[in-house]
Amino acid sequence: MDYKGVMDLILDTDDVTVGGGSASALSGALACGLIGMVCKLSTKKDYGIAPDKQLNYAKELEELREELLKGVVDDANAYGVIRDAYKLPKETEEEKEVRRQAIAKAGIVGASAPLENARLCRRVYDIGKALEGKSNPNCHSDLVIGYELAKIGTNGCLMNIEANLPLVKDVDKIQEFNTALKELRIE
């Protein structure tokens, strides 16, 4: 499935395959568009960040947007891995153990996709905040909306990690996820 198909599912209240993690990544992608536009509209003069630096930010934001649009799909696919693990048979002790292990592995997949998206959204937020007071003042509302969308994207992805963390049994992965939760959260 491509990101346009996933976006349609995000808007479909009858579909449960795409949720908050994909919507959070999409929020970050929207932020890229707004903040990148602000950068490009801030190149006619130096507002505190040189025009070439503004264009560098705009280019980076275009790359981040593409990664986040891929992340929308990755998050939806991660949900499928978890769903499929829960569908495994559980009649015998052996089947139950295979299922438990599959769910634990699926939890890592389910937390890894939003972790990558949270890192991307956080970078978008940081760029937006760096532009505060140093970009075209006529675009201030676009900038603020952009970095607020990136904040929502970051924190939404982190909530998605927290939702999947109880499935994870690997102690090192749990530590990795918990560290990221502390480092990436935006207050």
Tokens 């201030």, residue?
140
Q: What is the pLDDT of residue 19?
A: 79
Position 8 scores a pLDDT of 64
pLDDT given at position 5: 64
Determine the pLDDT at residue 76: 87
CATH of domain 3-184: 1.20.120.680
- Give the domain ranges of the chain: 3-184
| Cβ count within 10 A of residue 65 | 20
pLDDT at residue number 4? 63
Q: For position 14, what pLDDT does the model report?
A: 67
Length of the chain: 187
Cα distances from 36 to residues 11, 56, 127, 139, 161, in angstroms, run: 25, 10, 10, 11, 27
Question: What's the predicted TM-score (pTM) here?
Answer: 0.92
- What are the helix and strand counts (H, E) for the chain? 6, 0
Per-10-residue mean pLDDT, the chain, length 187: 61 69 94 98 95 97 96 90 95 96 96 97 98 97 98 97 96 97 97
Whole-number pLDDT of residue 20: 86
